[in-house]
Amino acid sequence: MKTFSVKTDLLTGEEYLEVYLRGQQILTDPFLNKASAFNEEERISLELEGLLRTEVSNIGVQRERSYEMYNRKHDDLEKYIFLQGLQNRNETLFYSLLCDNLFEMLPIVYTPTVGKACLMLSHITREYRGIYINPDNIGSIDKIFKGISLPEVYLIVVTDGERILGLGDLGSDGMGIPVGKINLYVAAGGIHPACCLPISLDVGTNNQSLLDDPLYLGYKSKRLEGKDYDEFIERFVLGVKRAFPQALLQWEDFAKHKAFMLLERYQERILSFNDDIQGTGASTIAALMSAMKIKKQRFNDQRFVIAGLGQAGCGIARNILNMLKEEGASDEEARSKIFAYDYLGLLMEDTPGIVEYQKPFAQKHSAIADWKIESPNVITLNDVITNSKATVLIGVTGSNGLFNHEILSQMAVNDERPIILALSNPTSKSECTPEEVAIATNGKGITATGSPFPPVEFKGKKLFSSQCNNMFIFPGVGLGALVSKTTRITTKIFLQASKALSELVSEEQRNSNMLLPEIKDIREVSFHIALAVAIEARDSGLGRMLSDEALSDLIKKAQWQPRYYPYRPGKKG
C-alpha cells in the first residue's frame, strides 16, 4: 500500500515524488505532509485547496516557527513529546529541525530523555510509529509487512524490550529505542527516513508493574521463553527475508544472553548486527586507538581492566583481543592482558555463575598466583587494578562512583598517562567524572565518557573529555553496508570503521586529550566510516566491485538532506 514513489523526469532530470493520495489524506501522512510549504500548483493538483492557510512558507520559516514552540517547553520530557508530535505530522520538517540543532536535541531524542520516555510510553503515546509484532499476530506477518506504506524498507531496528538502556524490561514501551535509533540513522548518517522501519517484538513482559498498569498498551502476558521464543524469532526473521530481502536488521536492547544467541544464530543468515555488542566495541576501540597515538604506544604495551562484562563489555573485550593479535600477540598472550571484572569479582576460569560468552576472558589461577589480595573470598576491583598494573580502565557497569579516588589514584601509580573510559550512561550512572580523574591523576589521565561532560579547568589548563557514543559508528556502518550491498557485516568491517573514526581525530584535538571527533561533525564522520565499510566489503568479496571514487560518490548521493521534493499526482498502479 505505497503512498508515493520517487521518480525522475526523463526530460528535465528533476527528482519528484509521485503521490497517490489526495486532499486531507496527504496532510495526515508524515512523509508527504509539507503543510504551509505546498505551492499553488500542488494545492490545486493534489486537491488541497481550502485545506491550508494562504501563505506559502519555505522550510526555513517552518523550522523557525517549530524551534520557537520547542523552546516554550521547559521540561525535557515535554520537549521529547513535542518533537515526536512534529515527526508524526511532518517527517521532513522534524529532521530539518533536528539536524539544525543536533547537539542540543540529541539528548532529547535519545539518551538520556528517551529512557524517561520509555518508562512512560504507554502514558504519553499520541500516535503509533513502526510495527508491533506479538504472539497473536505473528501468523499474519506477511500481511503486516505488505501493508506498510513506505516505498522501500532498507533498514530495520528491532527490540523485544527486555533490556532497555539500564532500565530493564519495559515490554513494548521499549519501542522508543528503535524510534530513537532511526532518528540518529537519519540525522547522523543521512539514511532516508522513508527507508527505515522501527519494530517492537511484543512478546510480553515480566515487569509486574507494567502488567498491573491499566494504561499499559503492550501484550499483557509473561514473556515468551525457550522454544516458543526461538520459534517466534525465527518466524520474524523469515518474514523479514521474504518482505525486505535487501534490508539491514539491527538487533537492539535484547537481554544479554539472548543478544549473543541471536547475533551468532542469524549474522550469517541475514544482514544484521548488534549495536550493543559490536557498535560499543567499535567506538571504544576507536577511542583507544587515539589514546595510543597520544601515548605513542601500542595496545600490547597496555594492561586492560574491563569492569562489567555484559554485552558492551564483551564487545569491547573482543575488539581489544583482536587488536592485540593484529599487533602480533598470540591468543594466549592477548588474553593474559585483559582482566574482566564483574559483580562476581575478577572472572576466573572456575568462577561460579560465569556464562559462556564471558569464559574466553576468564583468567587462570596461575596468572594471579603471586597477587596480594585483600580477602581470599573475593578479588576486588582495587585488587585487580593494583596487582595487574593496569594502564587502561574501562567501565560499562552502570554503577555510579565505582571508580573512586583510591582506584583512580592507583591507575596514576601504574602509568604516567592512564586511560580511564567511564562509559555508562546517563550521567547519573557514570563510574566517575572527568574532574575526578583529573584530581586523582594530577591532570595526566586520558578520559572518555558515555555521557557528555563539560571541559575541566585544572591548574590553569582546560582538559577535554570525548563522549564515546555509538552514534559515531552505527549510522556510518549501516550506510556503508547498504550502499555497498554487502551480504554480511564482519569483524573486519567494524575494525575498519574504528580505524576510520580514529583517523578523523586531528593532532590538535589529540593534544587536547580528545579521543573522538566532535558531535557537530557527525555527518562527515558517518560518510568516512561508510566509505571505509564499503571498501572493506568490496575487498573481502562481499560488496559491490566499484572503485573508491565510485563508492564515495554513491555514499554522498545516498546521504539524504531534509528538503521538500516537488510533488506530482499519480495513479496507484
Q: Splitting the chain (573 residues) into consecutive groups of 10 residues, what average pLDDT does each group show? A: 88 94 96 97 97 97 98 96 96 97 92 91 92 98 94 96 91 97 96 96 98 97 97 98 97 94 95 95 97 97 96 94 96 95 90 89 91 86 96 95 96 97 87 96 95 88 90 97 97 96 95 92 96 98 97 97 96 64
Task: For strands 15-19 and 4-8, give the pairing.
Answer: antiparallel
Answer yes or no: are the C-beta atoms of 400 and 430 closer than 8 Å.
yes
Query: Is 359 annotated in the active site?
Result: no
Torsion, Cα of 152, 153, 155, 161 (10° steps): 150
Return d(Cα 314, Cα 312) in angstroms, integer.
Answer: 5
Residue 572, pLDDT score: 61
Return d(Cα 406, Cα 323) in angstroms, integer.
Answer: 29
Give the list of residues 6+ apart from residue 78 with CB closer than 8 angstroms, or none. Answer: none
On the CB side of 320, CA atoms within 13 Å amount to 32
Cell numbers 572518555 correspond to 448
Starting at the earlier edge strand, list the strands of the sheet with 345-346: 345-346, 338-342, 304-307, 392-395, 419-422, 446-449, 466-467
Ranges of each domain in the chain: 110-270, 278-470
Q: Is it true that 110-270 and 278-470 share their CATH fold?
A: yes
Q: What angle do CA 404, 408, 409 make, to 5 degrees?
A: 115
Query: Is 110 annotated in the active site?
Result: yes
Answer yes or no: are the C-beta atoms of 381 and 402 closer than 8 Å.
yes
Return d(Cα 424, Cα 403) in angstroms, integer.
Answer: 12
Q: Where are the alpha helices (DSSP H) in 357-442?
A: 381-388, 405-414, 434-440
Classify 278-470 by CATH class: alpha beta
Cell numbers 533536528 correspond to 98
Model pTM greater than 0.75?
yes
Answer yes or no: are the C-beta atoms of 532 and 499 closer than 8 Å.
yes
Instruction: Pick the catalytic residue from 70, 80, 95, 110.
Output: 110
Q: What angle do CA 268, 271, 272 make, to 5 degrees?
A: 90
Return d(Cα 402, Cα 397) in angstroms, integer.
Answer: 8
Instruction: Pick the catalytic residue from 34, 79, 116, 181.
Output: 181
Return d(Cα 400, Cα 525) in angstroms, integer.
Answer: 30
Residue 215, pLDDT score: 97
Classify 110-270 by CATH class: alpha beta
H-run or E-run covering 120: none
Q: Would you state the cell numbers that stand for residue 422, as one nine-digit string?
A: 567511564
Return d(Cα 467, Cα 449) in angstroms, integer.
Answer: 5
Give the list of residues 6+ apart from residue 525 with CB closer than 8 angstroms, or none. Answer: 188, 472, 476, 501, 504, 517
